[in-house]
Structure 1
Amino acid sequence: MQMKLTETFDSTDLELIILLQEKPIANYSLIGKLLGLSSPTVKRRIDGLYSKVINRIVAIPKYSRLNLVPSSIFLEVNYTNFDKIEKIIDLHPYLYFRVRTYGKINGIHATFRLPQEGANYLKSFVKELINKNIAKNYLFFEHYSDYTIRGTPRFSAYTSKSGSWEFSWQKWISTPKDKVSRKDPIDDNIEPPKQKEKNIEFSDLEILSLLSADSRQKNVNILNKLTEKLSPQRLSDKLQEIKQKYISTYRVYLNWGVFDFTEVIFNVKTDSDFFKQLLSTYPPPFQTTFRDYVDTNGRKGFLLYLSCPPSHLIDAFESLMKISNDVELYLMNRKQQYRAPLNIKAFDKKKMDWIVSEDYLVLNLFENKI
């Protein structure tokens, strides 16, 4: 796989992309100092990358701190129903990510962050899609809290001479267990709180929602979008507090089509302890997201989202088969996906709690949509 730097972006743009992976919310001045560029040049180049390579740079909230837990579904859908079901799913107030997938189940994969008591309504929502002949079948996964491992791409693994990424999946998966950290990589900050968060203010949620849509927007833009008037200094103080308390990490989403990467999901049905420790200790040089789950039959497993060169796909598949005899592969359609920011409209400001009801999470989603 040869990256076409001259056609899409040059070596300076690549340096910018690498730096943004490390410092996604750094200001133009700092980036300029690190790369030897002026602030206006950095801004111009980053603006250009947004139209070619960068999809979004966003904050990933600590959803468990917000009393929201993850669930995932795969829906089997006839091709003629794709547009219809996407419009309905995109209306779900707790949608996190939705994409078309092709594999054992051809259709839609979606993940949600919703209140604990909303999981049963999500199942009712899925069953209603089937009852109305919009979907044919489904898989449902409940995840352990909001535990996620996210790996960022390391462009240092790319060799320009050979036009290839230097990484051996077979050596990686064969790493001796005594070389892998035995410490559970779960961060205490993402474990479900023992009681509901009481100290969060509505303005904090508004700010977090805006950052989950675009973490590089200017403070003045944030101030203009808030329902509560804040001084610039008060916003600055809140941003620091929110970063420490409610933001897990920042993510740079790239247009992997530029790199001729393939985006897939592996559904691996096995205990995930060794794999998640390996992934945390020695992450591959590609963008990855790991989530373990319990399915509707009580079976444990994990989902691995991977963006990599097509030449690495078979090796990745075979490496996973070394730890499980039951591995499913789903191709993702990068042109048909949607990432939803934290939806502040799903929060009842008067009750200071998330909205949960059958009308809100099931019935209203189908009104005038089918």
Structure 2
Amino acid sequence: MNTLSLREEEYLLLQHILKDPIIPYSKLAEKIKKSSPTVKKRMDTLLEQNIISSFHAEYHPESVGLESHIYLLKINSIDKYLIVEKILDYHPYLVVRQRCYGGITGVFLKVHIPIGSLNNFNIFLNYLVDSDLVEEIVHSSTIGQGIKTRIDLTYWNRSNSKWFFKWDLWKKNIDVVDYVPKFDYYQKISREKPKNVLNQLKYLDFQILKELVNDPTQKYANISKQLNVPQYTLSRRKKFLSKNVIRNYLVEFDRSFFGLEDELVFKAICSQRAMSKIIYLLRELILPFESDFRETDKGFLWKILLPPKDKLELFNILWSLFPDLQIMMLDPHTTVTKEFNPDNYSFIEQSWKDSEEFMVLQVLEKARGELLLA
């Protein structure tokens, strides 16, 4: 239960930070009509209470020559899961893994692998199947940039920590895309891809990107000193990365404080036309919860944080459109997120390391060294 309370200034700060995580303190001070020292003091309080825990950047894998794939690994025992998670953590291209329950019980896995290296990664996963650790592999290849929504505290009551969002407009507009003239436009939105700028990146860009992914709020002076590069060069390259590589700046917050206990994945196999209805709703209507909607090769995957009471509301809306809808609940306490790793790139060969030796054999050898595999 949430036992903390927010001052008015803290609440206003959170509203702006959750929408724009890297907004400068000076602009925050203007928006809430307080001094910069007051803003810093309130921010320090939010961090000390762990209401806000960290900031990071999310990059477009396609812009740096990688491609995104999502897997659901069905595992039939907790003992096998504990082994699989340790093996997965050895993989150099792991991005996120979480325990999942529901339509598929096992592991939710996201990887960014070199373009054209899918076969090698599948060899790695199939070895886990052959070793009787994984029962089934469900693969989804994501397409384009997708649609991301941010948490909006306008629909959260800070006095009782309750959300009061109404789904009426979603229900009312569920079929509107059938006759709006923007059908083709909505159909293309989630397929938009960023330009691949890998050939324009230098070693320094990889180092800067790593720092931004880890903490984009770092001061230029600190990054400049750490990377031994002039601040004007850092500023110029950061602008390039922000324009061409960075997808979003994100803030990690205490989900339980805001009553967002349920992290769900909705998975559907459907036509482009059916999926465009959801894209329409995401683009045209309000959704005050953090979510990431991605088109896949067969339909879509939608990862979303929701209060318990809103879970059934959204499920019923989606179920009316997609009878074969699958829903999985993710366990946030088992989440492992790996940082962007420039060491996976060979600056001598000017390419990502994608050999079977690197993506399969070395990982399995590490697992055997820890007695995780025979």
TM-score by length of 1: 0.88
Task: Return the alpha-carbon distance in structure 2 between the equivalents of residues 188 and 317 of structure 1.
Answer: 21
Aligned to 1:215: 216
Aligned to 1:115: 114
Deviations 1:19-73 (A, max 9, x none): 1123211222222232233334433433443351224322221221111111000
> Pairwise mapping of residues 147-162 of structure 1 onto structure 2 (< 5 A)?
147-159=145-157
The answer to whether residue 58 in structure 2 is matched with residue 57 in structure 1 is no
Q: Which moved more, 1:43-52 or 1:281-290?
A: 43-52
Task: Return the alpha-carbon distance in structure 1 between the equivalents of residues 92 and 256 of structure 2.
Answer: 29
Aligned to 1:104: 103
Q: Which amino acid aligns with 1:280?
A: R
The answer to whether residue 18 in structure 2 is matched with residue 21 in structure 1 is yes
Deviations 1:199-254 (A, max 9, x none): 1112112111211121111223322443xx31111111211222112222212232
| Contact residue 161 and residue 259 of structure 2 kept, 8 A | no
| Contact residue 194 and residue 244 of structure 2 kept, 8 A | no
The answer to whether residue 78 in structure 2 is matched with residue 79 in structure 1 is yes
| Contact residue 61 and residue 246 of structure 1 kept, 8 A | yes
Cα offset, 1:290, TM superposition: 0.4
Q: Which amino acid aligns with 1:20?
A: I
Q: Which amino acid aligns with 1:336?
A: T
> Pairwise mapping of residues 272-351 of structure 1 onto structure 2 (< 5 A)?
272-294=275-297, 300-351=298-349
Aligned to 1:297: none
**RMSD (Å), alpha carbons:** 2.5
Cα offset, 1:160, TM superposition: 5.3
Task: Return the alpha-carbon distance in structure 1 between the equivalents of residues 344 and 118 of structure 2.
Answer: 15
Task: Return the alpha-carbon distance in structure 2 between the equivalents of residues 331 and 26 of structure 1.
Answer: 32
Deviations 1:83-141 (A, max 9, x none): 33222222222222211111122111011111122211221111111222332222111
Task: Return the alpha-carbon distance in structure 2 between the equivalents of residues 30 and 23 of structure 1.
Answer: 11
| Contact residue 270 and residue 299 of structure 2 kept, 8 A | yes
Structure 2: runs of 5 or more not aligned: none
CA spacing shift, 1:362–1:339, aligned 2, 3 Å: same
CA spacing shift, 1:186–1:64, aligned 2, 3 Å: farther
Cα offset, 1:14, TM superposition: 2.1
Deviations 1:259-295 (A, max 9, x none): 221111111221222212321222411111101112x
Q: Which amino acid aligns with 2:308?
A: P
1:191 alignment partner, one of 186, 193, 207 = 193
| Contact residue 64 and residue 190 of structure 1 kept, 8 A | no
TM-score by length of 2: 0.87
